[in-house]
Amino acid sequence: MRVLPINTFEAEPWILRKHYSKRMPSISYAFGLYEDGLLTGVCTFGMPASPFLCMGVCGKDNKDMVIELNRLCVDSKTRNATSFLVGNSLKMLPRPMIVVSYADTAQNHVGYIYQACNFLFTGTTKERTDMAGKDGGHSRHNKGDRTNRIDRSAKHRYIFFVGNKFEKKHLREQLMYPVMDFPKGDTKRYNASAEVPIQHMLFT
């Protein structure tokens, strides 16, 4: 197995066809899992939709370091393939950086992958409603239909600090959320078997 940077257009069919959200997020960095030269998973990172989230993690002074792991989709029979993809993707991000990711309780996700990759668990968001966007999904940046509200499910919030030992220690000291024990429970994997164009590595 190898993890390599990929272009957004390479991740797009995986997100639109295989990921349960079926929607493209903001993508700043994308990485692919390759097995025997074939792409078998994608992991993408982008700017969070809310500037308040960025300030709320480690304060206003560190808000520009915050990025969200916003899509993760793997179709592989290899043991630990998903944690291998996430762990190696984190190593290739610029440093220092604060990574936030969520496990959606509505999808019966607990976040065991993040636990295996040594993320910090910082609590569960409350259920709420948002304005609907033009596509019927959640509105980003408050541009949506104020007359149409859609539910947002509770999500387990995980944090990971990318950097050297000193940078991680500094950011951990700035963390504004309490670190809590990992949640447990039954988890469910969604069906990621939808076909996408076969994508090979450009070299062997």
Q: Which two tokens stand for residue 57?
A: 């993690």
0.75 exceeded by pTM: yes
Q: Are 26 and 70 in contact (CB under 8 A)?
A: yes
Higher-pLDDT residue of 28 and 195 is 28
Out of 17-21, 35-39, 163-167, pick the least confident.
17-21
pLDDT at 13 over 60: yes
Domain ranges of the chain: 2-174
Q: What is the pLDDT of residue 203?
A: 40
| For range 95-123, the mean pLDDT | 93
CATH 3.40.630.30 fits 2-174, yes or no: yes
Tallying the residues shown for the chain, one arrives at 204
Q: What is the pLDDT of residue 92?
A: 98
Virtual CA dihedral for 134, 154, 95, 118, nearest 10 degrees? -150
Q: What is the pLDDT of residue 134?
A: 57
| For range 141-149, the mean pLDDT | 55
Q: What is the pLDDT of residue 132?
A: 54
| pLDDT band (50, 70, 90) for residue 147 | low
pLDDT at 140 over 60: no
Percent of the chain scoring above 90 in pLDDT = 67
Q: What is the pLDDT of residue 137?
A: 52
- For the chain, the distance separating the N- and C-terminal CA atoms, rounded to the nearest angstrom, is 12
